[in-house]
Structure 1
């Protein structure tokens, strides 16, 4: 008997395999062949280990879900922290992980469900059903974003996940990095001895911009933690619908218990929001870049900063201006970025380009975006999914791929981690390099 053909296109298969690590996909069940009945699904898919469900609707959408726990018809709620929903939107892979502490699905005798929110082949029919209930919020998604709000399925497939040899995953990293304590010390030594190219600038100013909740304040806390030798929380950070940061803050970083100032300042801002009259205003960004806004200025989204006449009549010194801009972007939300927010970021980038200030991206939460990286942070530059996200950020923000650096901030940890430190310090190293390029260019005029 000839094998059953898969409907999953090669490009989408490659992206999903990249997300899951080094895996093979074996087709277990195809609804149009085996039937849409739950009994047919369970006969072929129970006790098969980790599985990937892929659904197709008559609008051409490809979407589905992954679970690492067997289907057994136990009737129990299944805790599966690796479970996620996915969809391909405009060629990009969108991944929505199960919320921490929530059950991923109910292991009943029916067709697959995720979070008791999304039911595939509901009542043995070629449809997907979304149930919006406050008590079931295991996955945060919009049906329109996930599958175009078209619940008519043309096909539903389930694949068994089989891990291939782990060593092959690490053979060809797409970037080289040394994960050693010696490399960490080398980088820290660079910052301790570094001097900006111009004597008039004793510390370079690095401005962090990004959407609400992307991790700007957490990035400063993480860098500060490395040099203090323990995890700190000097800058206010956290998860909220609106920006936790409401002030412009200039955070100098000091080295260890001797408190010796290091040659850079990280400038934190209110988060960018897509709505007009909310979040950081582009006019405020202009004032920050040109050195007009003082430390601890409290932003007003409705009224941009107005410098007094005496100060506005004279240009700020080079010391007061911004020397490098860093966009902080959440790796798990890149594909969810709205058109309005993308347009706002484009306007910001054009403003910064007009001032010839260098720009780069720090891509946070890379461990949450890719399960393989979550298992081992050293996989970050061997993960094809992370590489794809780096390329997506580069395309959306107009920043070269070489200037997009993935990091993991300290969030839940209470002790420092070598791998986190190396990624964070490598990103900071690139910032100071770009700032030096800017100062060198200014000095040449």
Structure 2
């Protein structure tokens, strides 16, 4: 009877609507239902478990006296099993500025210990510790071995308490929300961007007949840049598939944790298997990674942009490319340089983009801007991000969720919304699909147009200097 009375308590969330939306953005198309509020149900572990056990995925949101809002997500039930829980989806978060910053669980570590105590993450960060309104960070674990105490150095989460919660351990509130997939996705009454879904043949013809504005350039060189697994190589394969007439996998692609592309590759595309080369080249690079000494080096990107790196050059993350003296003494021709840069971003991971990766992309953008090169953002995996789009790709531009993701990536990368193009690459399909082709070709057409804007600027500078 007591349990029923507790569950009937009317509780109001402390989470502001803007922050609720941002947390939902971290998790995909979900909604949050408040299960537990410590100031109402009590800070005791028993009260937490009474409200939160066997509820599926949950997100904990804590508030402290210094105004910090922070917490963690777990996709595995609380159930008081006494077991160590493995959960690769677990993460900690903290609102720093306007956006929540995520800290993913370290590889190979347990997400938490599912005991009768209060919620913990990695058996490292404890909330409502000892049934009190406090958060406790266990700085180190220790175990006894033959009479001596040894320290366990590895931790499930790497974070600075000063950054995560301002070193203020006193909580003013602790809430736990049930995370559920949204039962429906809001569709807007009118498309927020117009696409002619029957225009595949016309798009292909325009691309075939495209002539770069500069006569010295026979083919537009488009550089693909993005995190590991975002879909750079898959975009080339998809474009190649459309013009070949069936799905192809010429470039190596996949979902490995580290970049499958280890060389700088330039991929011309033919109009049919035996056809003539089309007026563009897609240039693929090693994926960007968060940590230094891994993934594509920013100095290498600078060399690629200026036309110094040859096809099939193998990247070395520990040592940037060094052109030989003869090549370094002469500038590359316009034909050899990059004319359009495309940032490839996984739609499902936009909200999980780390500060380090965002700063890397910002550094690259500053370099590209200084060279005046045209830039576009390609948002891949839109079908995985939104059930409405998964059901029907033509729903892409009436999906309010995809619209919000376009706006988010525009804000994070500092590019206009008009430069963000959502697409779906071919990944597991065996046959071509019209709607998919139209989105991909529309994106490619925009890249060629943006490159012409770059050529137009160069031509204007040359005319003014005469």
| TM-score normalised to structure 1 length | 0.74
Specify the alignment match of 1:136 in structure 2: none
Alignment of 1:224-239 (within 5 A): 224-228=240-244, 229-235=246-252, 239=256
Q: Point out the structure with max Rg over C-alpha.
A: 2
Distance change (3 Å), C-alpha of 1:33 and 1:278:
closer
Q: Which position in structure 1 is the counterpart of 2:319? A: 302
Query: Per the alignment, do residues 201 and 140 of structure 1 end up closer, same or farther by CA in structure 2, a change over 3 Å counting?
Result: farther
1:105, 1:409 → 2: CA distance? 36
What secondary structure is seen at the aligned counterpart in 2 of 1:166? coil
Partner of 1:35: 42
Q: For residue 402 of structure 1, report the CA deviation from its aligned partner.
A: 1.7
The structural deviation recorded for 1:143 is: 3.8
1:158 — aligned with what? 176
Question: Which residues in structure 2 correspond to 1:379-390 (within 5 Å)?
Answer: 381=397, 386-390=402-406
Q: Distance in 2 between matches of 1:48 and 1:273?
A: 35
Contact 1:31 1:157 in 2 (8 A): yes
> Does structure 2 conserve the Cα–Cα contact (< 8 Å) formed by 1:248 and 1:294?
yes
Q: How far 1:34 moved relative to its partner?
A: 0.8
Preserved CA contact (<8 Å) 1:19 1:384:
no
CA distance in 1, matches of 2:184, 2:274: 44
Unpaired runs of 5+ residues, structure 2, are 1-7, 142-154
Q: What is residue 15 of structure 1 aligned with on the other side?
A: 22
Give deviations 1:264-288, integer Å, cap 9, x for gaps.
1011233456777765455543443
- In structure 2, the CA distance between the partners of 1:382 and 1:97, relative to structure 1 (3 Å rule), is farther
Pick the aligned partner of 2:277 from 247, 253, 261: 261
1:148/1:70 Cα in 2 relative to 1: closer, same or farther (>3 Å)? closer
* Residue of 70, 75, 79 corresponding to 1:63: 70
What per-residue deviation string (whole Å, max 9, x for no partner) do you get for residues 180-235 of structure 1? 5x355554444334333344433211012334554433332333344442141523
Aligned residue pairs total 433
Structure 1 unaligned spans of 5+:
134-138
- Give the corresponding residue for 1:222: 238
C-alpha displacement at 1:326, in angstroms? 1.6
RMSD: 4.7
Flag the 1:201–1:389 CA change in 2: closer, same or farther, 3 A: same
Task: Please say if residues 270 and 276 of structure 2, whose CA atoms lie closer than 8 Å, have aligned partners that are also in contact.
Answer: yes
Query: C-alpha distance in 1, partners of 2:361/2:369?
Result: 12
Corresponding position: 1:293 with 2:309: yes
Distance 1:68 1:295, change over 3 A: closer
Q: Distance in 2 between matches of 1:321 and 1:384?
A: 38
Partner Cα distance (1:99, 1:417) in 2: 39
What TM-score results when the alignment is normalised by the length of structure 2? 0.71
1:115-135 per-position Cα deviation (integer Å, ceiling 9, x unaligned): 8776644554445567899xx
Larger deviation, residues 189-198 vs 398-407: 189-198
The answer (yes or no) to whether the contact 2:266–2:284 under 8 Å persists in 1 is yes
Question: What does residue range 178-327 of structure 1 map to in structure 2 within 5 Å?
Answer: 178=195, 180=197, 182-228=198-244, 229-235=246-252, 239-241=256-258, 243-272=259-288, 280-300=296-316, 301-302=318-319, 304-309=321-326, 311=327, 315-327=331-343
Could you say which residue in structure 2 is the equivalent of 1:431? 447
Closer, same or farther in 2 for the Cα pair 1:4/1:187, shift >3 Å?
Answer: same
